[in-house]
Amino acid sequence: MKYEKIVVKTELPGPISKKIIGIDEKFVSHSYTRDYGMVAKRGEGAFVEDPDGNVFLDFSAGIAVCSTGHCHPEIVEVIRKQSQELIHMSGTDFYYETQVMLAEKISKIVPIENSSSDNPVMSFFGNSGAEAIEAVIKIARSHTHRSRMLAFIGAFHGRTMGALSLNGSKIRHHEHFHPLVPGVVHAPYAYCKRCPYGAHYPGCKLECFDFIKKTLMTKIISPEDISCVIMEAVQGEGGYVVPPVEFVKAMRDLTREHGILLAIDEVQSGMGRTGKMFAIEHFGVKPDIMAIAKGIASGLPLSITCASREVMNWKPGAHASTFGGNPVACAAANKTIELLENGILENVNATGAYLKSKLEAMQNKYEFIGDVRGLGLMLAIEIVDNKKDFNPDAELRDRILHAAFAKGLIILGCGPNSVRFAPPLIVTKVHIDMVCEVLESVFEGLKK
């Protein structure tokens, strides 16, 4: 079956979908946050079909995971081949080639400070973004013998207790779960559109950085106690916020000066999503530790935490995961990287620029689009009451998500009041034209 366009032929959700949602409601954890009733049955490229035969254009990619598109034939083939040969062995106790090959490849593509052939980039394998962050915390503590961490407001790093301790995006993530890992301090992120210091970028004095250096690190937390500063190169759940290059560079210099490790969470922004293999490459900075997950294996569960051999100097037994770096997931990751390097990255730059220009044109037309931002195919629009007052309008954002779904477009929110566009990285300009057509009709409908 080749999908080419959106087809909505039942009310949404359709009758079969409704039945599935009914069973889910009874038996599946209510902690999940489903914005609308999308039940996925089959996916191909940028499209997903539901059990009622409705075909949706997917600009969420399973939350930025299906990097090469749904069920890319070459990914399906390596999964098939690998699963006929070896499904599991556990890299914690044994060796297998797909994992070793992946680690070698990662050492070539991940930018890590002071890495060289004598101090190569090493990989620790897990299954999820949160697991990658747990490894970041343990590597940072074990290398520096310091316990504290600095994270950012607006950040999202996962839901396990360590990763959760670093989050700063939604109170629901924290509520009733304390005590968390102690010693974390959160600083405001460099969110220029809503600068907490009332400054305007460009032209500001980088007050966000000054606050960390001159206030936090002199009054609240000693830099001598900080094992790592952890930040997303582009904040994901926080609203697809891109910080200024100067801020990221200044954080790199400050961490280096105090022997603090700089950890970059590329779980959402990595694997080509921003038009470079890793978002941090846009900033000309190399971190000491990097966390990767989501798009790495085109949909199979896999995460990697990387650091140089010198930094990842923990001892055998210090950390491991039974399933982490499973042979099938590693095979899919090797193929994903090959596909990204052979055309998909270029596609991200071309189609990302095209989508951004179309969203900017809509911003000129609609009073409630306060901002268009992002890099590559990690783009968002921020929904406000009007451009002058610039008050967040979360309710309107939610109405947009629902109305888009009703017209066969899958998009998700991010931050309190933004809509994110995180499509599979294989989307074409034709898909983008379809999305914009749906958006225009949704936006026109809001006026009524």
Ligand X SMILES: Cc1ncc(COP(=O)(O)O)c(C=O)c1O
By CB under 6 A, tell whether 38 contacts ligand X.
no
Of 410, 372, 379, 418, the C-alpha closest to 35 is 410
- 3-state secondary structure labels for all residues of 420-446: EECCCCCCCHHHHHHHHHHHHHHHHHH
Residue nearest ligand X, CB atom distance: 129
Question: From residue 254 to residue 273, what is the string marking binding to ligand X with x (rule CB under 6 A)?
Answer: -----------x-xx-----
Nearer to ligand X, 237 or 288 (CB): 237
Is residue 134 a contact residue for ligand X (CB under 6 A)?
Answer: no
Residue 261: closest CA among 427, 105, 142? 142
**Are 408 and 57 spatial neighbours (Cβ–Cβ below 8 Å)?**
yes
Q: Can you read off the two tokens belonging to residue 47?
A: 């499209």
Binding region for ligand X (CB under 6 A) out of 111-119, 134-142, 153-161, 418-426: 153-161
34: β partners? none
Under the criterion CB under 6 A, does residue 327 sit at the interface with ligand X? no
Q: Which stretch binds ligand X (CB under 6 A): 80-88, 115-123, 230-238, 416-424?
A: 230-238
Q: How many CA atoms lie within 13 A of 433 on its CB side?
A: 5
The 58-97 site mask, x for binding ligand X (CB under 6 A), equals -----x----------------------------------
Is 289 a residue that touches ligand X (CB under 6 A)? Answer: no
Please give the helix or strand (H or E) that residue 381 lies within, else none.
Answer: strand 378-383
> Is residue 391 packed enough to be buried (19+ CB in 10 Å), middle (13-18) or exposed (0-12)?
exposed
* Segments of 154-196 assigned E as strands: 184-187
Using the contact rule CB under 6 A, the part of the chain among 127-135, 207-215, 338-346, 366-374 near ligand X is 127-135
Of 57 and 422, the one with the shorter C-beta distance to ligand X is 422
> According to the binding rule CB under 6 A, does residue 157 interact with ligand X?
yes
Q: Indicate the pairing of strand 226-232 with strand 148-152.
A: parallel
Name which of 232 and 393 has its Cβ closer to ligand X.
232
Q: What is the DSSP string of 53-75?
A: S-EEEESSHHHHT-TT-BT-HHH
Of 348, 384, 181, 380, give the one whose Cα is nearest residue 270.
348
- The stretch among 124-132, 179-187, 195-203, 252-260 that binds ligand X (CB under 6 A) is 124-132
Q: Is the Cβ–Cβ distance between 424 and 61 less than 8 Å?
A: yes
Applying CB under 6 A, the span of 38-46, 97-105, 129-137, 348-356 interacting with ligand X comes to 129-137
State yes or no: residue 128 binds ligand X (CB under 6 A): yes
Which listed residue (111, 158, 275, 408) binds ligand X by CB under 6 A?
Answer: 158
**Comparison of 6 and 133: residue with beta carbon closer to ligand X:** 133
CB of 424 to ligand X, least distance (A): 16
Nearest to 304 by CA among 277, 281, 284, 275: 277
Burial 231-244 (b: 16+ CB within 10 A, else e): bbbbbbbbbbbbbb
Q: Give the shortest CB-271-to-ligand X separation in angstroms.
A: 12
Q: Which is nearer to ligand X, 54 or 128 (CB)?
A: 128
Instruction: Tell me the closest approach of the beta carbon of residue 379 to ligand X, in angstroms.
Output: 15
Shortest spacing between CB 44 and ligand X, in angstroms: 24
Q: How far apart are CA 151 and CA 235, in angstroms?
A: 12
Among 47, 59, 96, 156, binds ligand X (CB under 6 A): 156
Q: Tell me whether residue 107 or residue 169 sits nearer to ligand X (CB atom).
A: 169
Q: How many residues bind ligand X (CB under 6 A)?
A: 15
Please name the helix (run of DSSP H) or strand (run of DSSP E) that holds residue 292, with its range, or none. strand 289-292
CA dihedral 138, 140, 142, 148 (to 10 degrees): -90
Q: Is 137 in the site for ligand X (CB under 6 A)?
A: no
Nearer to ligand X, 236 or 408 (CB): 236
Among 135, 136, 184, 293, which residue interacts with ligand X (rule: CB under 6 A)?
293
For ligand X, the binding residues (CB under 6 A) are: 63, 128-130, 133, 156-158, 232, 236-237, 265, 267-268, 293
